[in-house]
Amino acid sequence: MSLHAFRVPMTPALRLAASVCAVGAGLLLALVLGLDDVPASPFYMTAVSTLLAVGLYGSASGIPAEALRDVRRVVVAVTVGVLLKALLIAGAMYVFHPHPASLLLGVAVAQIDPLSVAAMTRNSQMSRRAKALLLAWASFDDPITALLTVYLSVFALRGMAEGAVTSPLDGEVGGYVADLGLNVLFAAGGWVIWRLLKKWNPAPAVFRAVSVVLLVALIAVAVWQFLILGVALLGLFYRPPLGAALDRLITAAFYLAAFALGMLLLGGVDLAAGAVLGGAAFLAQVLVGGVLIAPRRMGVTDRVYLALGQQNGLTAIVLVLSLQPAFPQAIAAVAPAILLVNVLHLVLNGVWDMRERIPGWLLRVRDSRERPGLARVARVTGVTHVAERASERLETALEKESGDSREW
C-alpha cells in the first residue's frame, strides 16, 4: 500500500495544533539552552526579513485572476478596510493600554493570512466568487499591513519615553520616503528581468531554472536592503512555474516563524492584552467584512463567511518578530491574540457550517422544557423574542438563497 494512503489531510484544526506545537518546541529549546536574548543576534533581523520576504512574495503571487472581477471592492478592502480595522483594533488596545505601540499592534494583527484562507476555502461552502474575493483581500492586505507596521513604527518610537531601544525600524520620515522609491525601482528592475526572460523564451526546463535562480537573487537583494514592498510588487508579475514548491516553502516559513515566536516567550504572555487584541481583531473583521466590504447582493451565507474570515498567520508572526527589538512587550500580547483569533475562526466557522440547524437552536431557547429556569430567564430578559426573530429572519434568508444563484 502506498504511503500516500496514510497521509492525513491538513485541516484548519490540525494546522492550528501543529503551529501551537511549533511554538511550544521553540519555547522548550529556549528554556533548555537559556536563550533569553535572541533578538540581539546579528542574524536575527536577517532571518526575520527573509521570512517576511517569503511570506509577502507568496501572498502576492497567489492572488487569483478572478480577483480582477471585484478589483474595486478588493482595493477598498486593502485600503479603507485595512485602515479601519487597524484603527478599531488600535482604539480598543489604547483604551486597555494607552501606549504608542497599541497602534502598531492593531496594524500587525489586522491582516488576514492568505495561507490559512487558501486552506480554508478548499472545503468551504462559500461561493466561488466569494472565495476569490476573500483570498484576494488576504493576499493584498499582507504587504499593506507590513508597510504600515514598518513605516508607522518610527512615530511610535518617537512617542515613547527617552531611552527606547533602537532597531532597524527606527529612522527619519524622509528616509522612509526614499526607501519607498527604492522599492519601486527594485520592482521595476524585476519587471525588466521578467520581460527579458519571457522574450528569450528558452526550453521550459531552462526557463524554470534560470527564472528561479534570478528570483532567489532578487529576494536576497530585497532582504539585504529590506525592500518589503518591492518583494510584494515582484510577486504580482514575476511568477516562474514553481508549482507546489512555493506552497511548501511558505508552509515551512510559517512553522519556522512559529518556532521563533516560541523562543521569544520566555518572559511569558499577557493574556488580558491578548484577549483584547484578538477579540478586537475578530470583531473588526465582522464589521468591516460583513458590512463594508460585502456587496449588497451577497447572500447571507457568503456574507457571514466573509465576516468570520479573520485569521492570523505568517505575516502577523513575522511582523511582531520584527518589532521585538524596539517593542519587547508586543510579543506577549500578540502571541495569545493570534491564538484567540484562529480559535474563534475555527469554532464560529464550524458553527456556521451547520447554519441550517441554527434556527432550531435559537427556538430551543424559547421552548426549553428540560431547563424551565433558563427559559424563564430568557423570556424575562427579552432573549426569547430576539432568538425567535433571529430564527425567522435567518430561516427566510436561507430559503431565499437556496432558490437563487449563489453567484451574486
Q: Where do the domains of the chain lie? A: 11-353, 356-408
Cell of 300: 447571507
Residue 340's pLDDT is what?
95
Query: Residue 273 above 60 pLDDT?
Result: yes
DSSP 8-state class, residue 99: S
Query: Residue 346 above 50 pLDDT?
Result: yes
Written as one letter, the residue type at 72 is R
Query: Residue 166 above 50 pLDDT?
Result: no
**Mean pLDDT of all residues in 50-66:** 83
Written as one letter, the residue type at 335 is A
**Mean pLDDT of all residues in 251-263:** 94
231-235, 321-325, 394-398: lowest mean pLDDT where? 394-398
Written as one letter, the residue type at 276 is V
The predicted-structure confidence for 62-95, as pLDDT tens digits, reads as follows: 776 666 566 777 788 878 888 899 889 989 988 8
Phi, psi of 282 (to 5 degrees): -70, -40
Distance CA 279, CA 37 (A): 30
Torsion, CA 55, CA 60, CA 64, CA 65, rounded to 10: -170
Q: Are 255 and 18 in contact (CB under 8 A)?
A: yes
Query: Residue 157 above 70 pLDDT?
Result: no
First to last CA, the chain: 45
- What is the residue-wise DSSP string for 92-150? HHHHHS-STHHHHHHHHTTS--HHHHHHHHTS--S-HHHHHHHHHHHHHHHHHHHHHHH
Residue 1's pLDDT is what?
42
DSSP 8-state class, residue 10: -
Highest mean pLDDT among 233-237, 370-374, 375-379: 233-237
Burial of 24 from C-beta contacts in 10 A (0-12 / 13-18 / 19+): middle
Distance CA 183, CA 236 (A): 14
The predicted-structure confidence for 279-315, as pLDDT tens digits, reads as follows: 999 999 999 998 888 878 888 888 899 999 999 988 8
The predicted-structure confidence for 31-52, as pLDDT tens digits, reads as follows: 998 888 888 888 898 999 999 9
Query: Residue 169 above 50 pLDDT?
Result: no
135-149, 179-193, 245-259: lowest mean pLDDT where? 135-149
Which of 195, 267, 268, 272 has the alpha carbon at shortest distance from 234?
A: 195
Question: Which one has a higher pLDDT value, 165 or 84?
Answer: 84
In CATH terms, 11-353 corresponds, of 1.20.1530, 3.30.2390, 1.10.238, 1.20.120, to: 1.20.1530
Written as one letter, the residue type at 134 is L
- What is the residue-wise DSSP string for 328-341? TTHHHHHHHHHHHH
Distance CA 401, CA 300 (A): 8
